[in-house]
Amino acid sequence: MKYAGVDGGKWKSASNEISETLPDGTKHIRFTPVAPHLTDEAMRSVHARFNELEGAHEWDPLLLIPFYVLDFLCIHPFLDGNGRLARLIALLLLYQHGYEVGRYVSLERIIEQTKQSYYDTLHTSSQGWHESRHDVLPWTEYFLSTLLAAYDEFENRFGKVSKGRGSKTDTVKNAIDRFVRDFSLTDIEKACPLVSRDMIRRVLFDLKKEGLVICLGRGPSARWRNNVKPRKRV
| Complete edge-to-edge strand list for the sheet that includes strand 183-184 | 183-184, 223-226, 213-215
Looking at the structure, do residues 190 and 214 belong to the same domain, yes or no?
yes
Reference 125, options 11, 23, 31; nearest CA is: 31
Q: Are strands 223-226 and 183-184 parallel, antiparallel or unpaired?
A: antiparallel
- Give tens-digit pLDDT for 104-139: 899 999 999 999 999 999 999 999 999 999 999 999
Q: Considering the domain boundaries, does residue 56 fall inside one?
A: yes
Quote the CA–CA distance of 43 and 36 in Å, as a whole number.
11
Q: What is the structure's pLDDT at 234?
A: 36
**Are 193 and 151 part of one and the same domain?**
no
Taking residue 138's Cβ as centre, other Cβ atoms within 10 Å add up to 19
Please, is 203 exposed, middle or buried when counting C-beta atoms within 10 Å of its C-beta (0-12, 13-18, 19+)?
Answer: buried
Same domain, 151 and 217: no
Residues 61 and 98 in one domain: yes
The domain of 171 spans 165-226
Percent of the chain with pLDDT over 90: 55
Q: Is residue 213 part of a domain?
A: yes
Same-domain status, 147 and 177: no
Do 117 and 172 fall within a single domain? no
Give the total number of structural domains in the chain. 2
Q: Are residues 213 and 183 in the same domain?
A: yes
- Tell me: do 123 and 79 sit in the same domain: yes
Boundary-marking domain end, from 101, 131, 159: 159
pLDDT tens, residue by residue, 23-75: 777 777 888 999 999 999 999 999 999 999 999 999 999 999 999 999 999 99
Residue 233 is assigned to a structural domain of this protein = no
DSSP 218: S
Q: Is residue 12 part of a domain?
A: no
CATH number for position 179: 1.10.10.10
Alpha helix ranges (H) inside the chain:
39-56, 61-75, 82-96, 107-113, 115-126, 137-161, 167-178, 185-191, 197-209
101 shares a domain with 27 = yes
Distances from the Cα of 43 to the Cα of 85, 199, 224, angstroms: 14, 47, 41
Whether 121 and 173 map to the same domain: the answer is no
70 lies in the same domain as 185:
no
Report the amino acid identity of residue 125: S
Widest distance between CA atoms in the chain: 64
Note whether 152 and 183 are same-domain residues: no
* Residue 3 included in any domain: no
